[in-house]
Amino acid sequence: MGKSGVCSSGVLSASTMVYVLTALSIVVLISTVYVNSHLNSLLSVSKRIHNYVSMYIGIDSKATVTSNSSSSRHAFSITNPSITRATTPRATTPGGTTARPNECKSCFKHDFDFMLNNEDVCQTDTGNSTIKVIVLISTIHKNTEKRKAIRETWMSPYTGNTGPVRYMFLLGRISDKALQVALETESASYRDILQEDFMDSYNNLTLKTMMAFRWASTFCQKAEFVMKTDDDMFVNINGLLRAVNQHTDVLQRSVGGFCVLSASPIRDKGSKWYASEKMYPHRKYPGYCSGTGYVTSMFVTRRVFEISKHLPFFHLEDIFVGLCINKLGYTFTRIGGFSTNFIPISCSYKQSIITSHGVSPKQMRQAWDLKC
């Protein structure tokens, strides 16, 4: 009995242990799930708060921004944790081992062949005889849906390329044959594609912008203003037209948008906007307007393209344009309404804003369909 008693009490405590352990693991499991779901909603809430805050204070993390009494809204910089390490090889400085000189003689020739050129985007024989703005939109082959959404939303009043606003998509070369065939078909249908024979990569964005400046100065000289933007941007064209009309004079010697007057190179190798001492030896950039959207006159566009041949390549396109502007002795003009952040979808998309960043095709349609 004693034996069986010991035995049964042993069995009992073992099975009790199993029960207790099972109950405990269920509790742990439930609380993990609970905490996780709360963490997720906490994260999304803090992300939203960040969006709102950055919308009002205007955060741009392209460079380390230093304080300037007259632009104290940029008195700090943030590092965007979602930006991943650049995987493409870095641009090399001319000469390889020496630091980037400030200028050079015809060292940056831009003479790539056009693979696709819809030359008649800016022709004025039929349609409108004057062109107010040509909008040049940086994109990549696979972003077919983004281009479609742009044509169907904010650019839709002007898609025939016959009105006072014209537009063109900008691409380089890729090796994927199927995507190239699809792009050629798209170009034949919409006649809004410009492609040059350089390899399309993040580090070649300066080549893409110079392609756009070259093309605009050659094939779209009639346009009064030139805007450069990206395919993840919503551009309120009416707001843009108001801005260029308001700033017509200053834009004859200036580039306008979300401009940063005093910024330093980011020396952190993990940053998407990394620039080594060799790539850019100075402590400060001369200023730039965020590549998410900037606008200037045709005069400045032509001058920038001309001077660009005598400046060594620099891989961040908006900073390169800034270096050209500085070399020319021109200025940067901060224009209200240009945002480098995502602005929550609202009637402001048709009223006060000029640009909003990181807008998906679905959000473009949401904003466009608002009855405001």
Nearer to ligand NAG, 201 or 296 (CB): 201
Residue 259 binds ligand NAG (CB under 6 A)? no
Residue 88 binds ligand NAG (CB under 6 A)? yes
Nearer to ligand NAG, 88 or 246 (CB): 88
Nearer to ligand NAG, 260 or 354 (CB): 260
Nearer to ligand NAG, 133 or 233 (CB): 133
Residue with tokens 């909603």: 41
Q: Which stretch binds ligand NAG (CB under 6 A): 33-41, 46-54, 176-184, 193-201?
A: 193-201
CA separation for the pair 208, 137 (Å, rounded): 10
Residue 204 binds ligand NAG (CB under 6 A)? yes
Residue 128 binds ligand NAG (CB under 6 A)? yes
Residues contacting residue 357 through CB under 8 Å, at least 6 positions apart: 232, 233, 292, 339, 340, 341, 342
Residue 17 binds ligand NAG (CB under 6 A)? no
Give the residue, chosen from 148, 152, 163, 310, that forms a contact with ligand NAG under the rule CB under 6 A: 163
| CA–CA distances in Å: residue 314 to residues 91, 196, 202, 346 | 8, 19, 12, 37
Residue 68 binds ligand NAG (CB under 6 A)? yes
Residue 286 binds ligand NAG (CB under 6 A)? no
Q: At what angle do helices 298-308 and 317-328 cross, to 10 degrees?
A: 100
Residue 149: other Cβ atoms inside 10 A: 23
**283 contacts 99 by C-beta, under 8 angstroms:** no
Q: Which stretch binds ligand NAG (CB under 6 A): 78-86, 197-205, 212-220, 296-304?
A: 197-205
Tokens linked to 202:
């993040």
Give the residue, chosen from 10, 127, 157, 336, that forms a contact with ligand NAG under the rule CB under 6 A: 127
Q: Residues 209-248: x/- map of binding to ligand NAG (CB under 6 A)?
A: ----------------------------------------
Do β-strands 193-199 and 254-260 pair in parallel, antiparallel, or remain unpaired?
Answer: unpaired
Residue 363: what residue type?
Answer: Q
Residue 264 binds ligand NAG (CB under 6 A)? no
Residue 261 binds ligand NAG (CB under 6 A)? yes
Give the residue, chosen from 1, 4, 5, 70, that forms a contact with ligand NAG under the rule CB under 6 A: 70
Q: Which stretch binds ligand NAG (CB under 6 A): 55-63, 98-106, 122-130, 347-355?
A: 122-130
How would you class 7 by CB atoms within 10 Å of its CB: exposed for 0-12, middle for 13-18, buried for 19 or more?
exposed
Residues contacting residue 358 through CB under 8 Å, at least 6 positions apart: 232, 341, 342
**115 contacts 184 by C-beta, under 8 angstroms:** no
Nearer to ligand NAG, 152 or 224 (CB): 224
Question: What is the Cα 301 distance to its own chain's centre?
Answer: 19
Residue 308 binds ligand NAG (CB under 6 A)? no
CA separation for the pair 324, 305 (Å, rounded): 8
Length of the chain: 372
Closest contact distance (angstroms) between CB of 165 and ligand NAG is 8
Residue 199 binds ligand NAG (CB under 6 A)? yes
Which residues of this chain interact with ligand NAG, rule CB under 6 A?
68, 70-71, 88-89, 127-128, 130, 132, 163-164, 198-199, 201, 203-204, 261-262
